[in-house]
Amino acid sequence: NAGVTQTPKFQVLKTGQSMTLQCAQDMNHEYMSWYRQDPGMGLRLIHYSVGEGTTAKGEVPDGYNVSRLKKQNFLLGLESAAPSQTSVYFCASSQVRDFGANVLTFGAGSRLTVL
């Protein structure tokens, strides 16, 4: 059981370049999300999805886009990377979002550096 798999683990971009972070889960989870983690700050929600074909903005969505064409995959795109997007990105999924102790399962993280 792989859980949540993120690719790539590391990426260096130049300002203005674009890229896609990929996330796949094999737990049949409905809810998937993308967070960024910066030093001295809590995890911040970028975008999330409560089911296949649906996406919604989180706390810090600007500069990012997402797609969830298949239930098991959630893609995070950066159209024109900026140095402020240098961060560690985590994909996380759970059975549902709104009830009980719906525990998030996180991917291993993707460290992105924008020069």
Partner 1 sequence: GQNIDQPTEMTATEGAIVQINCTYQTSGFNGLFWYQQHAGEAPTFLSYNVLDGLEEKGRFSSFLSRSKGYSYLLLKELQMKDSASYLCAVRDRNYQLIWGAGTKLIIKP
Closest distance of CB 1 from partner 1, Å = 15
Q: Cα(115)–Cα(14) distance, rounded to whole angstroms?
A: 5
Q: State the nearest-atom distance from the C-beta of 60 to partner 1, in Å.
A: 12
Q: Residue 13 is encoded by which pair of tokens?
A: 């971009």
Find the shortest distance in angstroms from Cβ 80 to partner 1: 27
Among 17, 20, 58, 86, the residue binding partner 1 under the rule CB under 8 A is 58
Contact 109, 88 (CB under 8 A): yes
Assess 69 for contact with partner 1 (CB under 8 A): no
Query: Is residue 104 involved in binding partner 1 (CB under 8 A)?
Result: yes
When asked if residue 112 is in the footprint of partner 1 (CB under 8 A), the reply is no
**Does residue 34 bind partner 1 (CB under 8 A)?**
no
- Should residue 2 be labelled a site residue for partner 1 when binding is judged by CB under 8 A? no
Q: CA torsion angle for 73, 78, 84, 87 (degrees, to 10)?
A: 30
Q: Which residues contact 81 (CB under 8 A, 6 or more apart)?
A: 13, 14, 15, 16, 17, 18, 19, 112, 114
Tokens of 100: 């009980």
40 part of the interface to partner 1, by CB under 8 A: yes
Q: Which residues bind partner 1 (CB under 8 A)?
A: 40-45, 58-59, 90, 97-98, 100-101, 103-104, 106-109
